[in-house]
Amino acid sequence: MIHDLNYFKAETVKETLNLLDKHKDDYKIICGGQSLLILMRQGLVAPANLIDIKKVKELSYIDFDPKKGLKIGATTSHMEIEKSKVIKKHFPILVYMEDNIASNQTRNWGTIGGNLCHGDPTGDPGPVFIALNASVKIADKKKERTMLLEDFFVDYFETALQEGELMVEVQIPVIPPKTTVVYEKFNIIKNDQGIVSVAVSVTLDKDGSSCKDARIVLGGAASKPLRIKEAEQLLIGKKLTDSLLEKTGKKASELTDPVSDIHASETYRRYLIDVLTKRMVKKAWEQVLTSLK
């Protein structure tokens, strides 16, 4: 049962930051609430003050600059991202990711900022955005700061947000030439929460013969979205071979810290990570080669 609390409905960023500063000792931000309300009903979270930013329109936007990249406001809904023509053209992996998140109802109401700030290690956007080298802009009443998204996640449902701070924007640089980003999650029911997931970015050299850069990011494999840099380094300067894929998948599986729960055992999760990593690296690599023909 949700206990008594003070409810505030902000309409501007300035009003929101003032409320956060005033009530910074005990508050939660709500922007959609599909995840937060469940925790509140279970008594796991019991804020004295609830600050609703769903109607802060100045944080709902999608802007693209061919040189600077993509900016998405924190209160932008999943469905707005999924249906965006500019995202479909320049970042099609985001459309694919969003189409596989939960139900239409959830995507219509849930927001990208709310999803990331919830800090669920099995969430879909985290691994994909990290594979895209995304950053987030964070603000409080006095200042703004920007940090890489891979540094934003700290632990289970814990982020780098400090008291009085608000995530205001997700920033994604332009995807480099000869680069493809792919993503897949393993789940029992389509659009359900993934048991594990893998996002991979592969950039080939100017001849398209070997790997120039790579990013491998896992979901559901640890207490936060996990970038496996050691597996990435195995790919740099190499050509695609079955042996290389085997080594990369094995390395990714070894460097994870999955849990056993009602959905899957630790052993099974490691197996899935091995398989999906190999599959996604191969898929990304082959998509780049196809685009060069």
Question: Is it true that domain 6-51 has CATH number 3.30.43?
Answer: yes
| Residue 105: pLDDT band with limits 50, 70, 90 | confident
Asked whether the predicted pLDDT for residue 34 surpasses 90, the reply is no
- What is the distance between the alpha carbons of residues 1 and 17, in angstroms, rounded to a whole number? 28
3-state secondary structure at position 106: helix
Higher pLDDT: 103 or 30? It is 30
- What is the distance between the alpha carbons of residues 105 and 276, in angstroms, rounded to a whole number? 28
Distances (CA, A) of 161 to 136, 138, 222: 11, 8, 20
* Beta-carbon contacts of residue 174 (< 8 Å; ≥ 6 apart): 66, 67, 68, 69, 90
Provide the b/e sequence for 58-68 (b: ≥16 CB within 10 Å): ebbebebeeee
Detail the DSSP E strand segments found in 221-264.
226-227
Give yes or no on whether 59-172 and 179-292 have one common fold: no
Find the length of the chain: 293
Where do the domains of the chain lie?
6-51, 59-172, 179-292
Asked whether the predicted pLDDT for residue 35 surpasses 90, the reply is no
- The residues with which 183 forms a beta bridge, in sequence order, are 199
Pairing of strands 27-30, 49-52: parallel
Report the percentage of the chain scoring pLDDT > 70. Answer: 99
pLDDT in tens, 194-242: 899 999 999 999 988 899 999 999 999 999 999 999 999 999 999 999 9
Question: Is it true that domain 59-172 has CATH number 3.30.465.10?
Answer: yes
Cβ–Cβ < 8 Å for 200, 131: yes
- What is the distance between the alpha carbons of residues 245 and 242, in angstroms, rounded to a whole number? 5
Question: CB neighbours (10 Å) of residue 160?
Answer: 16
Cβ–Cβ < 8 Å for 285, 240: yes
Determine the average pLDDT of the residues in 88-103: 94
Determine the average pLDDT of the residues in 10-15: 96
Asked whether the predicted pLDDT for residue 189 surpasses 80, the reply is no
What pTM was estimated for this model as a whole?
A: 0.95
3-state secondary structure at position 131: helix
Please state which CATH number belongs to domain 179-292: 3.30.390.50
